[in-house]
Structure 1
Amino acid sequence: MRRAFLRLGSISLLCVLALAACHNKDKDQAAQSGGDTPVEAVQQSVTLLKTGDFAGFWKHALPPADYETLRTDWAKTPPDQPPLTDEDRAEFKEHIKELTEPGAEDKLFAAARPKLIEYQQQYSDQLPLMVGIFQGIARAGIEKSQDMSSTQKKQVSDVLDVLAPWAQQTPWFDQARAKQAIGIVVATARKLDLKSADDMRAMDFDTAMQKYSVGFLGLKELLNVYGLSVDAALDSVKVATVETGPNWARVKIDYTLQGKPITTESVLIQQDGRWYSEDLLRNVHDSHERLMAPPAAGTSAVEAATTPVEAPAKAEAKAPEPKSPKKG
């Protein structure tokens, strides 16, 4: 389930940039499942992510039964996950030592400095072209993805179109920024306090959510060093309901990323009087079904784990296709 969660997490984090504004809520409300309204459901999800509260995010973003399923699935090993080798364990231990030993910041920067000088001389002029090539590859991957809906693909593509120019203009080889970034990475690694590869795989859901929180907050700080503020993007969003139907609603989201305005939409569904993201629910259901599906006759465990499985339809978790708004 860990790989499924990482995939869901990466999708939802990218989509969150295109999904909501940040509004302060008290802790009691943050612990509730779903939102009172479609707009509030989206706003509260972003509030939790902005603070790095992943445990609270999943508890809020999923109906209670799906949340408990997610927690249960967390302890299950994916059929396609290879066992750890002694080489894996040794490599993990060495990387952790490099990042957390006394004086790690100075040692890592001393090793990075000559490379930064070399890369500045060799690649600074080629960087825009290299980023452009990566952008094309990423866009092709988005289009081929089976884990994202068409709405999610558009959201991620719009974000990519803004981030590519930012990446082309960012001074990645600047030594002062690199030293600051290394300090953030080292501080984050120490806070994570990972002991071994085996311990990392054996983490329970609550412990893993705490580690993800530390990593996410460190990542936001790291991006700030290079001029990308996730919080500023979240704070700029305005959400409005544009269409409703029986137990579903479509919301329009306007936000600014790196000074560029972006507009997107999201469909939410209502269950037991609470509102949830349709795309996120579908992704969670699909991942659970893939985890639980038995291998077909003559199919290896790895093949079965990587073959898409259609999740059973759930009437209460499926919104009808929204109609396009009439133009006046």
Structure 2
Amino acid sequence: MPRLQPTLRRTAGRLRIAAAAALLGLAACAGGGTDADVAPRSPEAAVRRLADDLRRGDLAAYARHAVPPDLHARLDAAWREGRTLWPLTELPLHAQLPSMVATLAQPGAEKTLLAEYRRQFAGAHGELRSAATTLGLFATRYVAASEDYGPDERAHAMRLIEALTAWGQQAPLGDPARAREAIPQLVAGARLTGLRDPAMLRQAGLEGGLHRLQPFVQRLKQVLARHYALDLDAALDSLQTLPLDQHGDSARVRVRYRLAGRVVEGTLRLERRDGQWYPADLVRRAQREAERTPTVTASR
């Protein structure tokens, strides 16, 4: 257990703010629900299908619907070869996610993590609110400077960061009573994945790995909603889509949703390939991930 201490300390600090931002990083492509088995006939229907995948916590379905089949196959090969963890690469701190889940799944993790929380974070309301502000400023500067974002996507990301920062500044992150309930629930969700070693996620492949993460994703959403007033499912349910324009195989869709009491609006660009619509910027980043040279290590 001593070797787990550094990871547990990092985990305790990230579980609240960073995990919320992580899920919403994917949710930025979301809309209202639809039938996941029906191929969308319009750009806004494609957005709604992705939202339905996220609403169910089904990241494997999200990955299938977010990119064309040939690119999905290339991403699966890159995943198994340790070259990417797409679509987890869309999330903040994605490189730490396999280790975090594996650490939470270890025997005795509840006791150790709660002890670390009491020592470092219990009652530290001011420090945690300051950390939320700092994280928001860092994220804003990164998005403003990054070439990964087009103008529409950058504007949407800025509004999303503002909403999450405001939530982090008010959330009861330093409440030990909430932590005593939340941490065992997250540990239970991690153990349901069966991912006791970070390498197991890569070995499961893209589809299998994302499927195994589903119990943890669902439990994380429940914890954030029940204990920290960040209801991601309610945000997905509230999202509305409005077609803006379409020229051949390119289109733009306006999205609007309510997150932690704030209205967030943005514009998504989509492109049509083989008759199906996909988020253009997401596909572009996924193509880059499929072409990466090996950088992801199997374990620490």
* Structure-2-length-normalised TM-score: 0.76
CA distance 1:283–1:11, shift in 2 (3 Å): farther
Equivalent position amino acid for 1:254 in 2: R
CA distance 1:288–1:157, shift in 2 (3 Å): same
Correspondence list, 1:40-51, <5 A: 40-51=45-56
Query: For the Cα contact (< 8 Å) 1:49–1:57, is it kept in 2?
Result: yes
CA RMSD of aligned residues (A): 3.0
Equivalents in 2 of 1:148, 1:222: separation in Å? Answer: 30
Q: What is aligned with 2:175? A: 174
Query: For the Cα contact (< 8 Å) 2:153–2:266, is it kept in 1?
Result: no
Q: Does 1:77 align with 2:82?
A: yes
Correspondence list, 1:299-318, <5 A: none
CA distance 1:100–1:239, shift in 2 (3 Å): same
Q: What is aligned with 1:56? A: 61
Equivalent position amino acid for 1:23 in 2: G
Correspondence list, 1:1-328, <5 A: 14-25=24-35, 28-29=37-38, 32=39, 35-78=40-83, 96=103, 99-101=105-107, 105=110, 107-108=111-112, 111-112=115-116, 114-115=118-119, 119-120=122-123, 123-224=124-225, 225-291=227-293
Query: For the Cα contact (< 8 Å) 1:12–1:280, is it kept in 2?
Result: no
Shift of 1:282: 0.9
Shift of 1:16: 4.6
Equivalents in 1 of 2:214, 2:142: separation in Å? Answer: 27
CA distance 1:12–1:147, shift in 2 (3 Å): farther
> Structure 1 vs Structure 2: percent identity of aligned residues?
27
Equivalents in 2 of 1:207, 1:110: separation in Å? Answer: 31
Equivalents in 1 of 2:156, 2:22: separation in Å? Answer: 11
Equivalent position amino acid for 2:165 in 1: A
Query: For the Cα contact (< 8 Å) 1:228–1:258, is it kept in 2?
Result: yes
Shift of 1:113: 6.7
CA distance 1:258–1:248, shift in 2 (3 Å): same
Q: What is aligned with 1:309? A: none
Query: For the Cα contact (< 8 Å) 1:254–1:263, is it kept in 2?
Result: yes
Query: For the Cα contact (< 8 Å) 1:17–1:234, is it kept in 2?
Result: yes
Equivalents in 1 of 2:32, 2:46: separation in Å? Answer: 11
CA distance 1:114–1:272, shift in 2 (3 Å): closer
Structure 1 residues 142-151 or 245-254, which shifts more?
142-151
- What are structure 1's unaligned runs of at least 5 residues? 1-9, 80-91, 292-300, 306-328
CA distance 1:287–1:206, shift in 2 (3 Å): closer
Number of positions where the alignment pairs a residue of Structure 1 with one of Structure 2: 261
Equivalents in 1 of 2:125, 2:79: separation in Å? Answer: 43
